[in-house]
Amino acid sequence: MVDMQTDSPGSERDRRIVAARVIVTSPGRNFVSLLIETRSGISGLGDATLNGRELAVAAYLEHHVIPNLIGRDAGRIEDTWQFLYRGAYWRRGPVTMTAIAAVDVALWDILGKMAGLPLYRLLGGRSREGVLVYGHASGRDPEETSAEVGRFAAQGYRAVRAQCGVPGLAKPYGVTRMKNAYEPAESELPLETLWSTPAYLDMVPRLFERLRADHGREIELLHDAHHRLTPIEAARLARDLEPFRLFWLEDATPAENPDGFELIRRHSVTPLAVGEVFNSVWDCRALLERQLIDYIRTTIVHAGGISHVRRIADLAALHRARTGFHGATDLSPITLGAALHFDTWVPNFGIQEYMQHTQETDAVFPHDYTLREGYLHCGESPGHGVSLDERLAARYPYNPRQLPIARLTDGTMWDW
Ligand code: KDG
Ligand code: MG
């Protein structure tokens, strides 16, 4: 018999969930958070931000999840996960899995606080001294992008993602005029951008030739094609980039059909990363089992939280793939904090994306992680180490914003 009183720190009575609420705030950009409170007074925080679809998750939590949490034992993390996923007839999808992630991360945070242990120790302890991160460099042309890569290298970064303007395209993906702050969800209705694959395929190899010439072979370079290419175009790009030894080429083609990656693999040995839009192990399965990718990008907030992403990482490990969590600014400091604990523990860690949040965001979400010489370090405080200043958050009301869309130059809708 399982002793109901001792299967988790604290008594069952102390662990009982007495309240939960959704907090929407926009300190520079929108974030949705879930706060779960227990009878003991210990509370936990989870991120529920789905860029451009924030209120869908907030409503799902408020109407369909929170009423089911009240009275439950916060120490029963797995059972609550199964209740919300397996127990529900309508399962998976980004809204549902983001809501489940928020609950799951908040419960792990509570468990850490009740046990007095940082999250990475609950997961199994430290596997490395620091978490290798990559920053985001971009510019209007290869010269400007190269100068930005140099700026990151001078700050101690060992890995940099490089994106560049494309001649003839006004707003290509990933290029910003603001340092460290690429923020694509910039208008209430989707901004219409133009896309030209021939111009892009001509530019990218020239960019990386320039970067290797300027910065040598040691720095790790990454690139995100952001789902714009067909499989054969992606194969051509991956092959053209081989001389420049990328750490990875990301989202080379939309991953709904894993067979596309078979084609890329057939033509190139450039490492491939995929999965930031995935939300369950089922999305990752074929790509991992067929060894079609090298890094899995699926992260905690959009794939059911720590309890589920742990299973994705284990599946990846069986097939020698490593983690490379999504970490753009729309993933809140709560997700970054939780991800850093996961990255510190997970045996098959690869790299962590890192875009600094704005000062306003950092003030709303005080945290104990730190950046040193291109590595992020999670803190030692119990749980995931990120809190939320509710009074400050209330000063930043929700600001409706959607991600852009892309059309080919003849007007055809394309993948953004
Ligand atoms: O919300 C969408 C962004 O997070 C995404 O466009 C960023 O592709 C991205 C990345 O790799 O950071
Ligand atoms: Mg990406």
Task: Please check the confidence at residue 237 and state whether its pLDDT lies above 90.
Answer: yes
Q: What is the mean pLDDT of residues 365-369?
A: 98
**What's the mean pLDDT when you consider all of the chain?**
96
Residue 337 pLDDT:
98
Query: How far, in Å, CA of 15 to CA of 17, rounded?
Result: 6
Atom nearest to 226 CA in ligand 1? 8
Please, which pLDDT band fits residue 182 given cuts at 50, 70 and 90?
Answer: confident
In this predicted model, what pLDDT tens digit does every residue of 397-406 receive, in sequence order?
A: 999 999 999 9
Tokens, residue 88: 């529900």
Q: Rounded to the nearest whole angstrom, what is the distance from the C-alpha of residue 13 to the centroid of ligand 1?
A: 42
Residue 6 pLDDT:
52
Reference 275, options 261, 238, 320; nearest CA is 261
Annotated catalytic residue 173: yes
Q: What is the mean pLDDT of residues 170-181?
A: 79
User: In what helix (H) or strand (E) does residue 19 lie, and over which residues does it extend?
Assistant: strand 17-25
Which residue's CA is the nearest one to ligand 1's atom 2?
Answer: 51
Annotated catalytic residue 367: no
Which residue's CA is the nearest one to ligand 1's atom 5?
Answer: 328
Question: Which numbered ligand comes closest to the C-alpha of 136?
Answer: 1
Q: What is the mean pLDDT of residues 60-71?
A: 98
- pTM for the whole thing? 0.96
Residue 7 pLDDT:
58
CB atoms within 10 A of CB 191: 16
Task: Please check the confidence at residue 206 and state whether its pLDDT lies above 70.
Answer: yes
> Is residue 204 a contact partner of residue 228, using CB atoms and an 8 Å limit?
no
Query: How far, in Å, CA of 347 to CA of 127, rounded?
Result: 6
In this predicted model, what pLDDT tens digit does every residue of 150-159 receive, in sequence order?
A: 999 999 999 9
In this predicted model, what pLDDT tens digit does every residue of 70-105 receive, in sequence order?
A: 999 999 999 999 999 999 999 999 999 999 999 999
Residue 180 pLDDT:
55
- Fold designation for 123-414: TIM Barrel (3.20.20)
Tokens, residue 108: 């792990």
Q: What is the mean pLDDT of residues 41-65?
A: 98
Is there an atom of ligand 1 within 6 Å of 277 CB?
Answer: no
User: How many angstroms separate the first and last alpha carbons of the chain?
Assistant: 53
Residue 178 pLDDT:
67
Which residue's CA is the nearest one to ligand 1's atom 1?
Answer: 51
Residue 179 pLDDT:
60
Which residue's CA is the nearest one to ligand 1's atom 7?
Answer: 328
Reference 182, options 397, 380, 404; nearest CA is 404
pLDDT above 70 as % of the chain: 97
Residue range 12-118 forms a domain whose CATH class is alpha beta
Residue 9 pLDDT:
80
Reference 137, options 99, 104, 165; nearest CA is 165
> In a mutational test of the pocket of ligand 1, which residue from 330, 352, 357, 402 has the highest number of ligand atoms less than 8 Å from its CB?
330
Which residue is catalytic, options 136, 226, 227, 326?
Answer: 226
Q: What is the mean pLDDT of residues 22-39?
A: 98
Task: Please check the confidence at residue 128 and state whether its pLDDT lies above 70.
Answer: yes
Task: Please check the confidence at residue 319 and state whether its pLDDT lies above 50.
Answer: yes
Domain boundaries, the chain: 12-118, 123-414
DSSP for 277-332 reads: T--SHHHHHHHHHTT--SEE---GGGTT-HHHHHHHHHHHHHTT-EEEE---TTS-
Query: How far, in Å, CA of 350 to CA of 107, rounded?
Result: 26
